[in-house]
Amino acid sequence: MSVRILALVGSLRAGSHNRQLAEAAVKHAPEGVEVSLYEGLADVPFYNEDIDIEGGVPQAAVALRSATSEADALLLFSPEYNGTIPAVLKNAIDWLSRPYGAGALAGKAVAVVGTAFGQYGGVWAQDEARKALGVAGASVLQEAKLSVPGSVTRFAETHPADDSEVVEGLTKVIAQLSEAAAAAA
């Protein structure tokens, strides 16, 4: 059985180091694990209960919910914006948490990793994402962590996929996530 992991990246910037980290996850996924990078978070409107009604849900939100439902697990890549989670990831979590009690996140194995310029690699944002995911009903792997500090200098000339320390940490998280997803199946 192949485990399907959907990667959501919390930075929309073209040269995002978190996107590069997600690309490294796709490239270095172990045999039997498929990591796919979700495109389209920028198109999902801010969550609004008034538009989250049968027949009125925006197509971008429908597509996000569908892709999440089809995945066995989620891997979120979070930079840190002003000490917390980026709005695009929080918005995705909000859409995926609905309908209440039966959203696409319910019971889904999820891990959060990331990189940031600061000395701690975005741990505050990643912890906030884990908290929001847990409240939203996901099965958050609290011990599956990777926070890479100094992204601007560390990845100035090296793609994360070519950084052996980063690849080792990332493959460990992917293995933990795929084991949790397989156990839940």
Residue ranges of domains in the chain: 3-184
Q: Which of 48, 72, 78 is nearest to 60 (CA)?
A: 48
Q: Count each helix (H run) and each strand (E run) in the chain, helices first.
A: 6, 6
The pLDDT value recorded for residue 66 is 98
The pLDDT value recorded for residue 184 is 86
pLDDT tens per residue, range 41-59: 999 999 999 999 999 999 9
What is the three-class DSSP state of 35? strand
Q: Which of 135, 143, 86, 138 is nearest to 115 (CA)?
A: 86
The pLDDT value recorded for residue 64 is 98
Residues whose CB falls within 8 Å of the CB of residue 95, separated by 6 or more in sequence, listed in order? 44, 47, 52, 61, 64, 65
H or E segment to which residue 10 belongs = none
pLDDT tens per residue, range 89-111: 999 999 999 998 889 999 999 99
Mean pLDDT across 47-74: 97
Superfamily covering domain 3-184: Flavodoxin domain (3.40.50.360)
